[in-house]
Structure 1
Amino acid sequence: MQAATENLSIIRPDDWHLHLRDGEVLASVVGHTAQQFARAIIMPNLRPPVVTTALALAYRERIMAALDKAGVEPGRFTPLMTLYLTDNTSADEVVRASESGMVHGIKLYPAGATTNSDAGVTDLLGRCAKALAAMQRVGMPLLVHGEVTDPAIDLFDREAVFIERVMLPLRNAYPELKVVFEHLTTQDGVQYVQQAEGPVAATITAHHLLYNRNALFQGGVRPHWYCLPVLKREKHRLALLEAATGGSGRFFLGTDSAPHSKGLKENACGCAGCYTALHAMELYASAFDSVGKLDQLEAFASLNGPAFYGLPVNQDRLVLQRTDYVIPQELPLADSTVVPLAAGESLGWKVIA
């Protein structure tokens, strides 16, 4: 990493957890990610979900068309596709996905865990055994939304219980399966990833590094800070920040940027998700700067993810400048608008190249 007094230059980063949606929403947001990242793991929870390789490749073509429409130069950004794991995902489909060269992970949504997760898995080890065995055999990563959906479990405890009920039995049954514990939110999760045997890693969002659950309630209920997994206590935020900046190769960048229209967020039953694609690297730089660890940002954002996924490191660079940057209040989103996280607030960094 090269750092000057006012500028910070790092290898261009990748986003290992991103929601782009589809249609006009996709066209509205894809350019924001392409401005900052070279690649991104694209979440498959569309309606209907992306459950086959053929559907993933068709979705990829729509993303490429949206990039072209947005004026993104060819080769600037590469979408890395995923499949949505269901109770019916076959071993043959896992092999097809691997052989395509375009599908880089299969996503576990426990049924009902988050946005568009109704088709998710009901019994991972019971219903998905053949698919998991095939994934372990071909080296296809399992990307997990790490929360149980048992209504008897407190919302703030669902990640810790997921470790006990799902991750430990999964690792015992498939010790060589590559697993990414996505959008980690707790001290419990950090400790598990640090100590787990075998190929286990985790993504961490910028909002879980910067904010605790108080952010949801400052001056009233603030729906644009509502995401799943939900923001946690300050001790968990500090544990995540220590993990992200601590030099371990098991933690890397995943924004979980999730566009929802302003009306769907500011609603009696508001959607979960924070929109951070516009200013992701400014948010991450602010988090790392807050603990004097800017020297660790390049490894977290640009090196650890490619190493885990077995992909080459990007060749070009991204430059941030230390300067005031006021986050816009709203952005266009299809025929509506989206409110970016921390709209109207000022950050101390701005991407300039």
Structure 2
Amino acid sequence: MTLEETADRIRSMEIRGAGRIARAAAKALLAHSQSGTYQDLKSYQERMMVASEMLAGVRPTAVSLPNAVNLISKPLSLAKTLDEAKSGLEERAQAFIIHSEQAVAKIGEIGARHIRDGDVVMTHCNSEAALQCILTAHQQGMDIEVYATEVRPRNQGHITIKTLSDAGIKTNFIVDSAARYFMKEVDLCITGADAITVNGAVINKIGTSQIALAAKEARVNFLVAAETYKFAPRTILGERILIEERSADEVLPDAARATLPHVTVRNPTFDVTPAEYVDLIITEHGEIPPGMAYIIIKEHLQWDMDNLCIDYPYCEEE
């Protein structure tokens, strides 16, 4: 698959989920590096920087993309020879792919410790990390039941219930707006994240914040399962994460909209869950309260905290 094909599949949500997106980007950069012929260090740097910028801009809310690209492309600015830059980037890409896959399994092990025998768990969207917590608890012999939301308008919940059903887990499939109604039957909520800010706020699939609010009202613990590369470094500078709005066609077809000239369809893909609604964030390095998000950014993402804009090839100088 070419770099352009990968970008198109991410943009169209054929590849979806922050972890899958990040791994796809890593694989695309690896293949792009291996497929080219380079005369010198400068030509390689220019080719890979263009590729990195293209991938990083495809899904603006999923910080897993720029974080993955930043980690992988570090040798571009540090290397002094072509061989050093090329081998360094390819080694980092391969390491990122392996780490990402292992991170989900580790999060599952940690998250499963919060699930007790007989628990009823609610989840939203189709998060690899959140699902792994549930699957691991089931594999450990826990008798659990799940409420999974439909996740309109892209219906990612259909993927979630297939995974749960295939694992033999009793699952209730509900429309998004029924989450509060069923919260009284729930012992624990677990979702994933597309991005986590420096203050511990969580950006995830639209509808997450409503579920978190209902959970807080019902005194049900709300956990977020997320790999470290989903934390957003530039929020340290006060930058807000852009909430992506997708095509109106996903909500209402063209033909129907043509009969409604005074109706505008709004289709935000994500919302922001305040840190005070989140009880714990589970990462592959352990679980943290939302207020410790800065530590993850500082210690695990290899960003230069004093000069993020220089280290980050996709930001524009203020």
How does the TM-score come out when normalised to structure 1?
Answer: 0.28
Q: Which structure: larger Rg?
A: 2
Q: TM-score, normalised by structure 2?
A: 0.30
Larger helix percent:
2
